[in-house]
Structure 1
Amino acid sequence: MSKPGEIRVLALGLIRDGDRIFVSEGYDSVKQDKFYRALGGGVDFGETSQDALKREFQEEIQAELTNIRYLGCIENLFTFNGRQGHEIIQLYQCDFAEPKFYQLDSLMFSESGTHHHKALWVDISRFKSGEFRLVPEVFFAYL
């Protein structure tokens, strides 16, 4: 999460395998609400968003990406854990280079070695039915 009053630039990868997508699970303790979003992370100064995407997947889940294709830019205004957030998301469609990632149901990873998260494959129908919440909601336009 960015500092108050800051806009954060992210690169996120939308990985699809048939009717399912690979997402990370998050939880807002103030709203007591579980949500899901594409994996990726912050773009560092002097780094392209595509390079940031590759770096984040390598750092978080030790995965190489292939077939990377730019989808578009999303501006996301939100509230998380009671704090207002503002993100500019560079969204890419991509695939895992290694087939083993398509065989997994889920995996645990850590951000900065402290925050532990779960990444998993979720059937798109679970988002469309409202059973699971995909953020930001505009992601539906890219599915």
Structure 2
Amino acid sequence: MVGRIQGIRAIALGLIQHGSRLFVSEGFDPVKEDTFYRALGGGIEFGETSLDALKREFQEELQAELTNIRYLGCLENLFTYDGKPGHELVQLYRCDFADKTFYQREQIPFSDSDQTYMAYWIERDRFHSGELRLVPPACLQYLD
């Protein structure tokens, strides 16, 4: 084997839709100078199911409980971020917020690894048209 061994990261993401909007966080790749959007969720810890990881991540980051959780499938995501290759196996779920007030807010701050980020409700047509980029791209096929 040539080069250094790269890890494959297992993550769980929750697609939350409300009407024609999708709940996503905004990211920025400084090397590509590119803005992208991703459903919320995060890493699956050793000994934890992807469903438990999804619930934990939403609780930790947003203090939010999920309901109507349905497994959609597993996506393989090969990408480059900040000039470095990445490889993820994404356990994708469709879900809803138990607390309906989340649907009334245009943007919601959340914390991850001692940093604060922003999540937004964005019209899903903006992703389908290519105006905005949703990652991993295979998530597009699961949008209503």
Q: TM-score, normalization: structure 1?
A: 0.95
**Greater radius of gyration (CA):** 2
Encode CA deviations 1:72-111: one digit per residue, 9 max, x unaligned.
0000000000000000000000000000100010012121
Q: Quote the Cα distance in structure 2 between the aligned partners of 1:87 and 1:134.
A: 15
Q: What's the offset of the Cα at 1:48?
A: 0.4
What is the SS of the residue equivalent to 1:59? helix
Q: Does 1:104 align with 2:105?
A: yes
| Residue number in structure 2 paired with 1:65 | 66
Query: 1:54 is matched by which residue type in structure 2?
Result: K
Q: Does 1:54 align with 2:55?
A: yes
Match runs of 1:130-141 below 5 Å: 130-141=130-141
Which deviates more, 125-134 or 93-102? 125-134
Q: Quote the Cα distance in structure 1 between the aligned partners of 2:130 and 2:75.
A: 21
Q: Does 1:129 align with 2:124?
A: no
Match runs of 1:1-143 below 5 Å: 5-114=6-115, 116-143=116-143
Q: TM-score, normalization: structure 2?
A: 0.94
What is the SS of the residue equivalent to 2:135? coil
What is the SS of the residue equivalent to 1:50? helix
- Provide structure 1 residue ranges, at least 5 long, that are not aligned to the other structure: none
What is the SS of the residue equivalent to 1:46? coil
Query: 1:92 is matched by which residue type in structure 2?
Result: Y
What is the SS of the residue equivalent to 2:58? helix
Percent identity of equivalent pairs: 63
Q: What's the offset of the Cα at 1:18?
A: 1.1
What is the SS of the residue equivalent to 2:16? strand
Query: 2:15 is matched by which residue type in structure 1?
Result: L
Q: Quote the Cα distance in structure 2 between the aligned partners of 1:129 and 1:47.
A: 36
Q: Quote the Cα distance in structure 2 between the aligned partners of 1:133 and 1:118.
A: 16
Q: What's the offset of the Cα at 1:130?
A: 1.7
Runs of 4+ in 1 over 3 A off after TM superposition: none
